[in-house]
C-alpha cells in the first residue's frame, strides 16, 4: 500500500470511530456526569498524542517545534473567535437552540481538522508512529462522538442522522491529515514546525473545548483523575512501543 493511502485509511478509520460514540445514546441521553467523564477521557488521550508528537521532534529542531506550537494555539484561538464559539456548554442540553447546535458542529469541525493535521504530521515523521497517533485519536473520537451526538439528539436529530453528522463533522480530519502529509513530502524541513503546530493545537483544544465544561459536569477531582489515567495509560503504551 502506498504511504498516502495509509494516511487516508488511518484518518478515515479515526473519523469513522465517531459513529461508535452514538451507540450509548440508544438508551437515552447519558447523565451529565458521564458526558463530563467522556470529555476527560478524550482530553487525556489528546494530551497523550500531543506529548508523543513533541517527543518525536529531534532536539536540534526544538525551536521550530516551539514556534509551531505557539502558531497552533494562535490559529485555533482565532478560528474559534471567528465563528463566535464561546460559551459552548455541553451539559446544558435542555437549553439547546439551533444556533447552539450549529456552533457545536462548527467547533467540532475545527477541533477535528486540527487533529487531522496531527495525524498527517505524525505519518510524515514515521508511518508506524502516525498509526499510533491515529489510534489514540480514533479512541478519543468515540467519547467525543457521544458528546456531539447528545447535542444533535437534543436538537431532535435521529440517532442515524447524529451518526452521519458526527462522522461528516470529523471528515475534515481526513482532508487535513492527507494535506499535511503531502505538504511535508514536498517540504520536509517543515516537519518540526508542523508537529509543534499540531501538539500546541491539541493541548489548546483540551484546555478550551473539553475540560472547562467537564469540570462543571462532574467536579474537578474525578475529571483530573480520568484525564491523568487516560494520559498515563497511553503514555506508557507509547513508551513500550518505542522500546
Ligand atoms: Zn478531540
CA–centroid distance, 153 to ligand 1, in Å, is 20
pLDDT grade, residue 94 (50/70/90)? low
CA–centroid distance, 190 to ligand 1, in Å, is 24
pLDDT digits (tens, 9 = 90+) for 54-83: 998 888 999 999 999 999 999 999 988 887
Torsion angles phi and psi, residue 155, rounded to 5 = -90, 5
pLDDT grade, residue 53 (50/70/90)? very high
pLDDT digits (tens, 9 = 90+) for 181-196: 999 999 999 999 999 9
Ordered by start, the domain boundaries in the chain are 3-20+32-242
Tell the residue number behind the cell numbers 487535513, with chain if given.
Answer: 176
Higher pLDDT, 222 or 153: 222
CA–centroid distance, 167 to ligand 1, in Å, is 13
Residue environment code for 12-40, b if the CB has 16+ CB neighbours within 10 A, otherwise e: bbbbbbbbbbbebbeeebbebebbbbbbb
The mean-pLDDT minimum among 19-33, 166-180, 194-208 falls in 19-33
CA–centroid distance, 199 to ligand 1, in Å, is 12
CA–centroid distance, 205 to ligand 1, in Å, is 7
| Phi-psi region at 89: left, alpha or beta (left = phi > 0; alpha = psi -120 to 50) | beta
Residue-level pLDDT at 12: 95
Q: Which of 144, 119, 130 has its CA nearest to residue 18?
A: 144
**For residue 3, pLDDT beyond 80:** yes
Amino acid at each position: 500500500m502506498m504511504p498516502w493511502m495509509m494516511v487516508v485509511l488511518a484518518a478515515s478509520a479515526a473519523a469513522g470511530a465517531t459513529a461508535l460514540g452514538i451507540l450509548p445514546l440508544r438508551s437515552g441521553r447519558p447523565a451529565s456526569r458521564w458526558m463530563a467523564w467522556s470529555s476527560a477521557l478524550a482530553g487525556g488521550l489528546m494530551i497523550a498524542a500531543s506529548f508523543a508528537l513533541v517527543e518525536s521532534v529531534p532536539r536540534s529542531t526544538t525551536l521550530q517545534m516551539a514556534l509551531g506550537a505557539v502558531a497552533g494555539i494562535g490559529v485555533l484561538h482565532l478560528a474559534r473567535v471567528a465563528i463566535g464559539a464561546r460559551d459552548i456548554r455541553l451539559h446544558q442540553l435542555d437549553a439547546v437552540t439551533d444556533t447552539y447546535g450549529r456552533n457545536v458542529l462548527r467547533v467540532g469541525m475545527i477541533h477535528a481538522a486540527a487533529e487531522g493535521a496531527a495525524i498527517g504530521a505524525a505519518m510524515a515523521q514515521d508511518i508506524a508512529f502516525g498509526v499510533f497517533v491515529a489510534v489514540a485519536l480514533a479512541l478519543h473520537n468515540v467519547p467525543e462522538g457521544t458528546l456531539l451526538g447528545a447535542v444533535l439528539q437534543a436538537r431532535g436529530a435521529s440517532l442515524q442522522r447524529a451518526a452521519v453528522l458526527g462522522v461528516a463533522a470529523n471528515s475534515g480530519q481526513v482532508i487535513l491529515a492527507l494535506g499535511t502529509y503531502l505538504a511535508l513530502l514536498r517540504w520536509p524541513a517543515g516537519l518540526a514546525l508542523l508537529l509543534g503546530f499540531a501538539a500546541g493545537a491539541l493541548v489548546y483544544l483540551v484546555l478550551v473545548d473539553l475540560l472547562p465544561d467537564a469540570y462543571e459536569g462532574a467536579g474537578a477531582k474525578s475529571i483530573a483523575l480520568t484525564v491523568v489515567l487516560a494520559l498515563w495509560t497511553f503514555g506508557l503504551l507509547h513508551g513500550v512501543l518505542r522500546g
